[in-house]
Amino acid sequence: MKETREATKHGAILYDESLGLHVHPDLFDTSFWQSQGAELSQGEQRRGRVLFIRRGQHRWVLKHYYRGGWAARISNDRYLWTGEARVRSFREWRLLARLYKQGLPVPRPIAAIYHRGAGTYTSDLISAQIRGARALSEALRDHTAGEMPWLAIGRTLKRFHLAGACHPDLNAHNILLDTKGAVHLLDFDKGRIRRQGPWCMANLARLQRSLHKIDEDHSVSYGRQGWAELLEAYKQAGRK
C-alpha cells in the first residue's frame, strides 16, 4: 500500500495509490455512482447507514461518519475541526492500512475524504467489501450456537490484541464470518494501537454483553460452551 494525500477545494483526500485508481471527490457521492450505473444497496453499521457499491470488478463500502449520543442533537454528522490528524475518516483509514499490511483480517481501505466548513467538518471512508461475509449476529439468528466457528473467532481476536489493535466497540455486529469460515473485524472508527493490558479483557467483555443482548432480543442462545471454546482458543493462541 502507498498512502497518498491530495488537497481538494474544501479539504483533502487520502488514498492508496498502489491500487492505480483515479480518486476524486465524486467517488463519495451517491449520485455519481447512480450516474455510472453502479449497483447500490444500503446496509447498517454501528451508527447510520453504509452504501454498498458494485461496479465492474469493484465491491466497495462507502461510510459516512455520523455522530452519536447527545452530540447528534446539535449536528448528526459535523465534527469540530481540531486538525487534519484527528479527522475520523483519516484516522480509521490509517489504522486499517496498518492492520491490513500486517496481514490482519480487516477491510482494505481504499480512500477517505473530509470537507471543512465554519470550524467543523464531515468525512467519509471507502473500503473494500468482504465478499460473501455476514455478521456473527446475523449468523447466530439463522444457525445454532454449535455451528459457529468459536475457535476461529477466539484465535482471531487474540491476533488483533497481540498486534495492540484495540477495537472501540467489539460486538457481534462487527465480527464477520465468510463462506470459508474465516473471521474478519470491521468498523475501527475511534480504534487505536495500544500496549496489551486490561483493555483486552474489556474488549471480550463487551463482546459477551453484545451476545447476551442478541440472546435477549431474538431468543437465540450463543451458548456457554461456545463462549468457553472462544476463550480457550484465545488463551491458547497467546501461548504460541
77 is catalytic: no
Name the H helices within 167-223. 199-218
Cβ burial, residue 230 (10 Å; 0-12/13-18/19+) = buried
How far is the first Cα of the chain from the last one, in angstroms, to the nearest whole number? 29
Asked if 115 and 121 count as a contact pair (C-beta separation under 8 A), the reply is yes
Pick from 43, 46, 87: nearest CA to 169: 46
Q: DSSP 3-state assignment of 123? A: strand
Asked if 199 and 166 count as a contact pair (C-beta separation under 8 A), the reply is yes
In the chain, which ranges are E strands? Answer: 3-7, 11-16, 39-44, 49-55, 58-64, 79-80, 109-117, 120-128, 134-135, 165-166, 175-177, 183-185, 192-193
202 Cα distance to chain centroid = 19
Q: Could you tell me the three cell numbers for 172? A: 457481534
Place of cell 496489551: 196
* Catalytic hit among 26, 142, 169, 217: 169
Task: Give the catalytic positions in this structure.
Answer: 169
